[in-house]
Amino acid sequence: MSGVEELIALQSAGCGRTTGTAVVAAAEAHVKEAMAAHDASHDYAHIARVREVALRLAEMEGIEDGDELEVIELAALLHDLHDYKYSGSLTAGAEAAAEFLAGAGMEAERAAAVVDIINSVGFKNEVGGRVEVKSVAHGVVQDADRLDAIGALGIARTFSYGGRKGRPFYSMAAVDADADAALPASGLTTEEDDEDGAGRELAAGRHAFMEAFLTQFYAEARGDA
């Protein structure tokens, strides 16, 4: 059983975090189909992890309102729909999410809240400056997505995306400089660039693992280990 299948099984048994609404179930099915051909850096397993962590962070932040939790869960599920790295469009994802939510009959104001979060989540929207966190709901989805770009899974996703793009594992020039650019670019970040509030608590361990990995990686690339 794959990691995604295990997580889905847990959720079906009531062990995973989900609001369990009809529109959430429809979103799950829609996203699984839409992302079926994606590589492992942006597949449904990534979506499932972001959803799980976003709801965990919401719990840590004391969010209990069912409607707000559903907005968070839907934003997490739909945030990479028609992602620009695959569609080539910066607007297709939010447009597709809005179309799906309208078709699912979600109330317009709450659907707009989901799309607003989607529009500001992702590193592509943070180039040149930090995106303003408009609400706790926005913050937990942003942090959940960013947490999946660091630590062990972040490194695995980096290699997966680099392989898809035909990039080498590393650059010796970058290794010699002990630079993060030694790894194929996809989102390895530093803890200082990442997460607010509850998200920062989860980032610390992932950041420490990433530092240890890079130290070993550089040593092996140089033939020193």
Alpha-carbon gap, residue 114 to 107, rounded angstroms? 11
Contact 195, 203 (CB under 8 A): yes
| pLDDT tens sequence across 14-54 | 447 899 999 999 999 999 999 888 888 788 999 999 999 99
| pLDDT tens sequence across 64-78 | 999 999 999 999 999
| pLDDT tens sequence across 84-122 | 777 767 788 899 999 999 999 999 999 999 999 998 886
115 with 18, same domain: the answer is yes
| pLDDT tens sequence across 127-165 | 445 556 778 999 999 999 999 988 999 998 988 888 877
Full domain range(s) for residue 15 = 1-127
| Concatenated DSSP letters of 36-60 | TTS-TTSSHHHHHHHHHHHHHHHHH
Is 143 within a domain?
no
Q: Identify the domain boundary among 97, 127, 157.
A: 127
Contact 182, 171 (CB under 8 A): yes
> Structure tokens of 137?
């709901």
Q: Identify the domain boundary among 127, 160, 178.
A: 127
The CATH number linked to 95 is 1.10.472.50
pLDDT confidence band for 191 (50 / 70 / 90): very low
90 with 180, same domain: the answer is no
Number of domains forming the structure of the chain: 2
| Section 186-203 average pLDDT | 60
